[in-house]
Amino acid sequence: MPSKTHELLESVRRLLFVVVFLLGLGVAALGDIAVAVRGYTTAIPTAARVIGSVVVLTALALLFSTLFQADADPDSTD
């Protein structure tokens, strides 16, 4: 049976994944906004869009892998 501390740490970990996802989404959106305001693309908005997209995809992959991971109980004798 998982302890309260383990459950709390799992919820904090998931919350941090969501925060990182949202920050990556914000960086990608700022790159899009910079392109829309200037009317042309430069290296900085392009880099922001790429980095933000990579962060978003990585955060989603990690979040889904932890959510759908088999919860193995180390105290189980089966």
66 in helix, strand or coil? helix
Looking at residue 22, its pLDDT comes to 93
Residue-level pLDDT at 72 = 55
pLDDT given for residue 71 in this prediction:
60
Other Cβ atoms less than 10 A from the Cβ of 31: the count is 21
Task: Walk along the chain (78 residues) and give the pLDDT tens digit of each residue.
Answer: 567 888 888 889 889 988 999 999 999 999 999 999 998 889 999 999 999 999 999 999 988 888 787 565 555 554
What is the pLDDT at residue 10?
86
Contact of 55 with 23, CB cutoff 8 Å: yes
Q: What's the predicted TM-score (pTM) here?
A: 0.74
> Do 26 and 52 touch, CB atoms closer than 8 A?
yes
The structural domains of the chain, with segments of one domain joined by +, span: 11-66
